[in-house]
């Protein structure tokens, strides 16, 4: 699934999210979220991925974003809970 997380009126983070049932994955990554999963970067330096197991939904999630303009860091900030 393609996603877009708005940051401001004119700016957003775009990426791809894949969710796979845990029983379909041979080696499960650690339990966590997009904010806690450790990013890995492609050899080309063009993409970053994070992978985690979501126990609540029984899925392994794979998130892919461009490394242009620090998209991964910007996405993490956008998804972090804000204090009221």
**Is 51 within 8 Å of 72 (Cβ atoms)?**
no
Domain of 61?
Answer: 2-79
Instruction: Answer whether residue 57 is part of any domain.
Output: yes
pLDDT tens digits, residue range 32-80? 988 888 888 888 888 889 999 999 999 999 999 987 767 878 888 888 7
Instruction: Answer whether residue 84 is part of any domain.
Output: no
Cα dihedral 54, 57, 59, 64 in deg (nearest 10): -60
Three-class DSSP category at 42: coil
Number of domains comprising the chain: 1
* Model confidence band, residue 3 (pLDDT cutoffs 50, 70, 90): very high
Q: Estimate to the nearest angstrom the gap between the alpha carbon of 53 and the chain centroid.
A: 12
pLDDT tens digits, residue range 7-31? 888 989 999 999 999 999 999 999 9
């Amino acid at each position: 699934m393609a996603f877009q997380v708005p940051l401001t009126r004119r700016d957003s983070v775009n990426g791809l999210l894949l969710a796979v049932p845990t029983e379909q994955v041979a080696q499960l990554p650690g339990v966590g979220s997009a904010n806690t999963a450790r990013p890995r970067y492609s050899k080309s330096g063009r993409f970053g991925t994070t992978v985690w197991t979501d126990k609540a939904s029984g899925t392994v999630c794979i998130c892919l974003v461009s490394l242009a303009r620090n998209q991964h860091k910007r996405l993490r900030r956008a998804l972090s809970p804000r204090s009221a």
